[in-house]
Structure 1
Amino acid sequence: MSTTSPRTSQAPTKLQLLELLAAIGTAQWRDFAAAAARYGLTSTQARVLAQLEGPVPMRGLATLLVCDASNVTGIVDRLEARELVRREPSAVDRRVKNVVATDVGRDVIRRVREEMQATHGALDTLDATESATLYALLERLRPTMERDSDA
């Protein structure tokens, strides 16, 4: 990780931006994993729960997690045993199984996010204008990043 910071009179380089995004992403991921562990979840199990805004096909979870579909089966089995998710047949194709968060699962992932103390503390250092600016910039980057990661 680079310890140099761009001079205020010059725009940061792409490399400096990438290093900063990577450092923040790593710290946020560690915070997420620590909060998840307090609920007996691995970071991957918590990530699955976080992806379940609605029904997601098993194969879709494998794509989101960038792993083999057989790995998703074990992860979902463990979440299902704790009644945090359930499998449902797809309304479109009965051969496809969708994973859906239960009310308990949604509550657990909400609490995990609420307990990410390091991340919340970092965000608390921003004033309302800075928070709005950061949000707008991240929203602007998101579609391109998500589209490029799907390719």
Structure 2
Amino acid sequence: MRDDDAFGFLLVTATRLMRARFEQALGEARLDLTPAEARTLVAAQRRGPVRQAELALALGIEPMTLVNHLDRLESRSMVRREAAPLDRRSKQVIVTTTAKPAIRRIRRVLDQATASALASFSAQERSQFADFLERLCHALHPDMARSAVDTPD
């Protein structure tokens, strides 16, 4: 086992390197989306119509940060915001059909970047690693929903 502080630095380094790989792959895909916008779009699609506050909580970001992402996505007709049916004071986010091709490409890009990064891992190790990361995310941010962390179908 590594020293506790070495583990923390190793995790930060791995995160930085994986993010750089994803940013590069996303840029090469020419989607004109930041990684944060791509993550927001996928999380909103996975959750279905979702209140903005719930989406910000699930993503682990500040509501105003989410508003900036949504403004850009809405300007491209990828999402729309409507009054929530049960609380007209709050807004819900709805992913439009315009966004569907981009979401498919985002998932392909992420899958390819992940497969490349984890090529030396067995299927069992990848599954175990994902389980460990989910547990870590939940321990660090109990309100973070699984749908904000993963991108299955």
With the length of structure 2 as denominator, give the TM-score of the two structures.
0.72
Is 1:29 aligned with 2:23?
Answer: no
Same amino acid, percent of matched pairs: 33
* Cα distance between partner residues in 2 of 1:51 and 1:19: 28
Mapped to 2, the partners of 1:143 and 1:65 lie a distance apart of 11
Q: CA deviation at 1:148?
A: 7.6
Q: Which has the higher contact order (CA 8 A, sep 6+)?
A: 2
Q: Which residue of 1 aligns with 2:124?
A: 129
Higher-Rg structure is 1
Matched, 1:50 2:45: no
> 1:87-106, aligned counterparts within 5 Å?
87-106=81-100
User: Can you list the C-alpha shifts for 1:13-68, whole angstroms capped at 9, x where unaligned?
Assistant: 22122112111111222223233332011233223213212233334445536345
> 1:40 is aligned with what amino acid?
D
Residue 35 of structure 1 contacts residue 113 of structure 1 at CA under 8 Å; is this kept in 2? Answer: no
Q: Residues 25 and 103 from structure 1, CA distance in 2 versus in 1: closer, same or farther, beyond 3 angstroms? A: farther
Gaps of 5+ in 1: 1-10
TM-score in terms of structure 1 length: 0.73
Offset, 1:126: 0.9
Unaligned runs of 5+ in 2: 146-153
1:41 equivalenced with 2:33 (yes/no): yes
Q: Does 1:15 align with 2:5?
A: yes
Change (3 A) 1:137 1:77: closer
Q: In the aligned structure 1, how far is the partner of 2:56 from the partner of 2:143?
A: 17
Superimposed CA distance per residue, residues 61-107 of structure 1 (whole angstroms, 9 cap, x where no aligned partner)? 455363452x5434322211222111122121011111122234244
Deviates more, 1:32-41 or 1:91-100: 32-41
Matched, 1:108 2:102: yes
Report the more deviating stretch, 141-150 or 83-92: 141-150
Once superposed, what is the RMSD of the aligned Cα atoms? 2.7
Report the Cα distance in structure 2 between the residues aligned to 1:78 and 1:123, rounded to whole angstroms.
32
Q: What is the count of residue pairs matched by the alignment?
A: 139
| In structure 1, distance between residues paired with 2:97 and 2:21 | 23
Distance, in Å, in 2 between the alignment partners of 1:83 and 1:24 is 34
Q: Measured at CA, do residues 149 and 51 of structure 1 come closer, stay the same or move farther in structure 2, by a change above 3 Å?
A: closer
